[in-house]
Amino acid sequence: MRTQKVIAKGSDDMKAKPEINSTKFDQAMFDQTVSEAGSSTETESAIRIASHAAILYLLNILILPIFAFLLLLLLYVRHQQHPSILVRNHLQQAMRASLCAGFMLLFMSALILLYGDLRHVGTWMALILYVLCVHSVFILYGVLAFTHALAGKTFRYPLFGGLPIESPIEEGHADS
């Protein structure tokens, strides 16, 4: 796995410096991780479904609000009993985040417009600042969820993510 690279210094002073082939090293680490986690196709399938949930969440809050939510709901219904904790976690978190984002953006925007004077600049400034700040946070957490899904890790949204699907107590790891 290691190759020798010769560096010449002077006339007859030669030293060998080991060099690691990073592609082979990365592939070996991935193969070891996959073999420890189970079969490669099951792990890849779980990562694919989890990343689809995160992508649909991002599409829901960025480009296709209703259509992407319906696709996310369909994915959730189809895979809610999936044997992988990764899939169940990302589907549950994406649904919670989508519902919370929709509620907060619509409800709070409506409250600002109802209680503010529509002819006052301050009302519109507060509405724009609120939507931009809150929307940016939801996008940031969606990107974090997507990167966790691609890495094969579970993710919990802060504040509205709820408790993990399976706690250590349910798995029998609690200290008795």
Domain interval for residue 32: 1-37
Contact (CB, 8 A) for 112 and 130: yes
Is the residue at 50 inside a domain?
A: yes
Strand pairing partners for 16? 6
* CA angle (77 as vertex; 72, 81 as ends), nearest 5: 120
Tell me: pLDDT of 89 over 60: yes
Q: Taking the alpha carbons of 163, 168, 171, 174 in that order, is the dihedral positive or negative?
A: negative
Residues 20, 59, single domain; the answer is no
pLDDT tens column, 130-170: 989 999 999 999 999 999 999 999 988 887 766 555 533 33
Q: How many domains does the chain have?
A: 2
Distances in Å between the alpha carbon of 82 and those of 59, 62, 171? 23, 27, 17
Residues 128, 81, single domain; the answer is yes
Residues 15, 71, single domain; the answer is no
pTM: 0.68
DSSP string for residues in 101-141: HHHHHHHHHHHHHHHS-TT-HHHHHHHHHHHHHHHHHHHHH
Is the residue at 1 inside a domain?
A: yes
**pLDDT average, residue stretch 96-118:** 90
How far apart are alpha carbons 153 and 170 in whole angstroms?
A: 19
Tell me: pLDDT of 32 over 80: no
Q: Taking the alpha carbons of 130, 132, 138, 140 in that order, is the dihedral positive or negative?
A: negative
